[in-house]
Amino acid sequence: MEEFGGEPGMSKHVRAVVLAAGKGTRMNSVRPKVLHELCGRPMLWFVLRALHEAGVDDVTVVTNSDVAPHVEAIARSAGHAASRAVLQEPQLGTGHAVQIALANLEPREGTLLVLNGDMPLIEVELVRSAMARAGNALALVTARMPLPSSFGRIVRRGEHVQKIVEARDADEDELLIDEMNAGLYAYDESKLRSAIAELRNENSQGEYYLTDTIGNFRERSETIVPVVAGNYRSVLGVNDRVELAAASALLRARICEHYMREGVTLVDPQSTYLEPGLDIAADVTILPNTAIGRGSSIGAHSEIGPNTRLQNARVGEHVTICDSVVVDSAIGDLAIVGPFAHVRGGAEIGTNVRVGNFVEIKASTLAPGVKASHLAYVGDTTVGDRTNIGAGTITANFNGKRKNRTTIGKDVSVGSNTTFVAPVTIGDGALTGAGAVVIRDVAAGERVVGNPAKSLRKETS
């Protein structure tokens, strides 16, 4: 277990509760708010990721029945080995959510972090600074933020935090306060337990507000330590789709900056869509209007884009991919893909291959030096070294019932508009004439033409 801060009274083993059960009414969506995505990950992922990076792996997620089935997968992909979800039904407010979490946790001395699940811009440094200031009743993360704002206002007397007033419940003077409640709290667990038992729901929403624990602490002369975030953008909560788009843009800029600092050239970061955790080598260039998603890697000196989408694509070095889509596939070194290629379904494109100008490759292996340069469909096919696939070639892999494979050897010359009616095998060095419809196997070195394709040698003899 990692140790933080080293302040007196601070537990080595910090636990966290993440609030993710809210209905998300303002999203106007059948999808629960914390499952809406930014940069390819659900909102909740970023909160769990920041906790994991801060070394907090004992996390309880308060969920509703729509969120619960997804928590384990999200937590695992955020790096947590185990996850714990507790149901809050019905959802009676953030204070009620914490009550439910505490009822499911064995009481323990020390710090309990509480985080809203709708703050995807949260950064690990801020979690760490809240933990470092823990030890009193509450270290409360706040942020100075431009007005108007719908965040809860921090009401201070002098330096001391008196209470938090929700914007809905605030009077005119309180609405002018520009210090907001971030939604990240480092509580002393036993003091939280006694305060939470006394919450009431006398407010505009009839909800139990977690923020009312602050007033309770003041009455008991407990110490509340405000921790002012350096940048309010890292605590922006997402409550509707306008805020989701704004948070997405900020997150995207942050992710782009990360890759640029690692040596990746982004010609236009504004139109470049990257996800966290990609493996992009230094000296890769990414041209405008390009989206690179989950599981993708790109080797050095490759140039991707413009107008390109990669998803789970493993791209080698010195590769060029433009105006194309590559999904669940691998592209070998020095290959040129596009413009207008669609490579998908576990395709393996070898070194020095040329694929493009309206070519689709599905679940096929193209050996080094293969060329499919114009208007072709290659599906469920193996193609040998240096074979040239002529313009308009189709592998007819589906006979109405099942998919069949086409096997094409090395150094084959496939004439324009050839149709291979699978299953069919073409030997090394064979040739098909323009418009050939190949319905049976072709031997090595054999030349076939016509519909159905027949051996040239036999026809002319």
Residues that contact ligand UD1, how many (by CB under 6 A):
28
211 binding partner (options Mg ion, ligand UD1, none; Cβ < 5 to 8 Å by kind)? ligand UD1
Does position 118 interact with Mg ion (CB under 5 A)? The reply is yes
Binder to ligand UD1 among 4, 45, 46, 151 (CB under 6 A)? Answer: 151
Amino acid letter for position 169 = D
Helix, strand, coil % (nearest 5) of the chain?
20, 30, 45
Distance CA 48, CA 31 (A): 19
Q: Which of 34, 278 has the CB closer to ligand UD1?
A: 34
Does position 164 interact with ligand UD1 (CB under 6 A)? The reply is yes
Q: Which stretch binds ligand UD1 (CB under 6 A): 14-22, 278-286, 347-355, 397-405?
A: 14-22
Residues of span 215-254 touching ligand UD1 by CB under 6 A: 237, 239
Long-range contacts of 419-423 (CB under 8 A, 24+ apart): 419/393, 419/394, 420/381, 420/393, 420/394, 420/395, 420/396, 421/396, 422/380, 422/381, 422/395, 422/396, 422/397
Instruction: For residue 102, give both structure tokens.
Output: 């505490």
Binder to ligand UD1 among 99, 111, 116, 381 (CB under 6 A)? Answer: 116
Which spans in 35-141 are helix H?
43-53, 68-77, 94-103, 124-132
Q: Which is the catalytic residue, given 80, 96, 258, 374?
A: 374
* 374 is known as an active-site residue: yes
Does position 21 interact with ligand UD1 (CB under 6 A)? The reply is yes
Least Å distance between CB 137 and ligand UD1?
17
Q: Judge contact between 360 and 377, C-beta under 8 A.
A: yes
164 binding partner (options ligand UD1, Mg ion, none; Cβ < 5 to 8 Å by kind)? ligand UD1
Q: Which stretch binds Mg ion (CB under 5 A): 38-46, 118-126, 372-380, 439-447?
A: 118-126
Q: Strand 138-144 vs strand 179-188: parallel, antiparallel, or unpaired?
A: antiparallel
Residues contributing to the site for ligand UD1 (CB under 6 A): 19-22, 34, 62, 88, 91-94, 96-97, 116-118, 151-152, 164, 166, 180-181, 183, 209-211, 237, 239
The catalytic site residues sit at 374
Residues contributing to the site for Mg ion (CB under 5 A): 118, 237, 239
